[in-house]
Amino acid sequence: MNKISHSLSALLLSLVASAVLADVSLLNASYDVARDVYKDFNPLFQKHWKAKTGETLELKQSHGGSTKQVRAVADGLEADVVTMNQANDIEFLAEKGLVAKDWTRKFPNNASPYTSTMVFIVRKGNPKAIKDWNDIAAPGVQMIIPHPKNTGNGRNTYLSAWAWALKQPGGNDAKAQEFLGRLLKNAPLFAAGGRDATTTFMQRKMGDVLITFESEAEMIAKEFGKGEFEVVYPSLTMQTEFPVALVEKVVDKKGTRKQAQAYLEFLWSKEGQENAAQNYLRPRDAELLKKYAASFPPVKTFTVDEVFGGANKAFATHFKDGGSFDQIYQSK
């Protein structure tokens, strides 16, 4: 009890102290599992900024489902920057006029400082010999993924499989849709979210393959032990981007443009890139990618822009009501 009250008062004190001491405060609205990345990144930037300008920055984080976060910002959450895991969420803010229309060109690499990719997690020894997407669509295989319509993780899996089917000899949209139909038949359930899918696969031992972010595989290793599973890289998979943007309206109002801009730019610095790599996200920096090559084996990837003509278009074609996902689930 005493301990709790002590730590509570310590927390209160530190809150008061930081509010008093900080010259400027920035709020970063981010997606759910970004916690670890920015927990490590923020102190790095604070130090960098202090050394450069002498200004003490307070950095606050807000985490939640990507779409939820963006809606909060649109409804008035005063975030200086948004760091998301789906381009169409930032696109939504651009449509609302909160973010620059050409936000993807405001920063290098399509405004995505690091990437990840969708991989297969299979049971130890890969008993069902799952090597590629068509192995998962085979009869008797069970696949665990989050809901493709409601989660970014699930959508990435869906689009990865679609792109793979397109690239097969004689592949076209009709054949891809037919393939997705067979693939989804092997999903005994759609998990509520990425972490729920992981728990279902690892803890409840359901399914033969879990499809998730490469970065998540390392989290699983930490949680459940490396010997419990194997990572399989399919012949083609999506390079997932994690786009960032300045919320123009907010930084103009708060007068924090300079700091917010520097904060996002710092994601591309050596320190920022190394922090991403340490959190199992593929850095854009070629040197660091080489340094951490053990964590990031080469893999053939595509981007949503290349295959689907942009995140918004992909979403509209496949996941809006009546899109390809819904068509698959229409009873005949």
Partner 1 sequence: MVAKAHRVLPGFGLALGYTLVYLSLLILLPLGGMILKASELGFGQIIDIALGERSLAAFRVTFGASFVAATVNAFFGLIVAWILVRYTFPGKRFVDALVDLPFALPTAVAGITLATLYAGNGWLGQFIEPLGFKVAYTPVGIVVALTFITLPFVVRTLQPVIEDIETEVEEAAASLGASRWQTFVKVIFPAIFPALLTGFALAFARAVGEYGSVIFIAGNLPLISEITPLLIISKLEQYDVLGATALAVVMLALSFILLLAVNVLQWWTANRHKNSEPLEVAAAKASGGAA
**Contacting partner 1 (CB under 8 A), which of 206, 221, 231, 262?**
206
The answer to whether 171 and 178 are in contact (CB under 8 A) is no
Place of tokens 């090597």: 131
Closest approach of Cβ 72 to partner 1, in Å? Answer: 12
Using CB under 8 A as the binding rule, the residues of this chain from 216 to 275 that contact partner 1 are: none
Return the number of the residue (100 or 192) whose C-beta is nearest partner 1.
192
Closest approach of Cβ 285 to partner 1, in Å? Answer: 33
Piece in contact with partner 1 (CB under 8 A), picked from 48-56, 142-150, 231-239, 296-304: 142-150
Return the number of the residue (227 or 322) whose C-beta is nearest partner 1.
322
Q: What is the DSSP secondary-structure string of 101-163?
A: TTGGGSSHHHH-SEEEEEEEEEETT-TT---SHHHHSSTT--EEEE-TTT-HHHHHHHHHHHH
Report how far residue 199's alpha carbon sits from residue 70's, in angstroms, rounded to the nearest whole number: 27
The answer to whether 111 and 103 are in contact (CB under 8 A) is yes
Backbone angles phi, psi at 28, to 5 degrees: -110, 110
Report how far residue 251's alpha carbon sits from residue 26's, in angstroms, rounded to the nearest whole number: 9
**Contacting partner 1 (CB under 8 A), which of 153, 200, 212, 324?**
200
- Indicate whether 327 belongs to the interface with partner 1 (CB under 8 A): no
Place of tokens 């001491």: 21
**Contacting partner 1 (CB under 8 A), which of 48, 60, 63, 71?**
71
- Indicate whether 124 belongs to the interface with partner 1 (CB under 8 A): no
- Indicate whether 187 belongs to the interface with partner 1 (CB under 8 A): yes
Alpha-carbon dihedral angle through residues 92, 241, 67, 314, given to the nearest 10 degrees: 60
- Indicate whether 198 belongs to the interface with partner 1 (CB under 8 A): no
Residue ranges binding partner 1 (CB under 8 A):
67, 71, 92, 147, 149-150, 187-192, 196, 199-200, 203-206, 315, 319-321, 326, 329-331
